Amino acid sequence: MSAPVGEESRLALVRRARRINRELALTYPDAHCELDFTSPFELLIATVLSAQTTDVRVNMVTPTLFAKYPSPADLAAADRADVEAIIQSTGFFRAKTQSIIGLSQAIVERFGGEVPGRMKDLVTLPGVGRKTANVVLGNAFGVPGITVDTHFGRLARRFGWTTHTDADKVEADVAALIPRREWTILSHRLIWHGRRCCHARRPACGACPLARLCPSYGEGPTDPVVAATLLKGPA
């Protein structure tokens, strides 16, 4: 069945989505996870801490945290007040402390002190949902995963890839458009583009390399000079 006049066919949507991914690959050839880590455990903890704050802020506190508590067993036995003091600047520090100590205890008790490498196991840990699990799987275990954070969801809707706001539904819609092998790096590319160009309030449409491919072009300033002033570096 063909699409109604004026609407994009499924094939056209898939082709446009993959062209956007290719264009983002050219724009951000160095796109990567901006959380600093040296192990699956460090990435898991850093990702939990990154909620409602910036990767830059998390990277400021994790060296101290991991120097003092380098393993799940160490953090599982940590003094709660000490951990709260270390991570306080990331915000929501009491809840985050409870999560990272609790998930460390669960890793020790149920997984032999090693971060599990399967989605079904990761999401049983305190404070770990699909988004966090996909970050860990994709970047520490090489298992493709789509990370639907606030940037990814916003851009996926602007691109017309999904109409949903529920992260699991966004993940499923995008997974149907992009080859599995690309899921992790696609996540980095969209997050980088969201942080640098496609902002929530004033997207830099006039300076965007995706202008001709984006159905939301014009939500932000289209004048190239004005748009260029909205571009940002890493955040």
Q: Which residues are catalytic?
A: 131, 149
Reading the block at residue 171, the tokens are: 């993940």
Task: Mark out the alpha helices in the chain (DSSP H runs).
Answer: 10-27, 40-49, 55-68, 72-76, 80-87, 93-111, 119-122, 130-140, 150-158, 167-175, 183-196, 224-228
The number of residues making up the chain comes to 235
Contact between 115 and 107 (Cβ < 8 Å): yes
Reading the block at residue 141, the tokens are: 């275990």
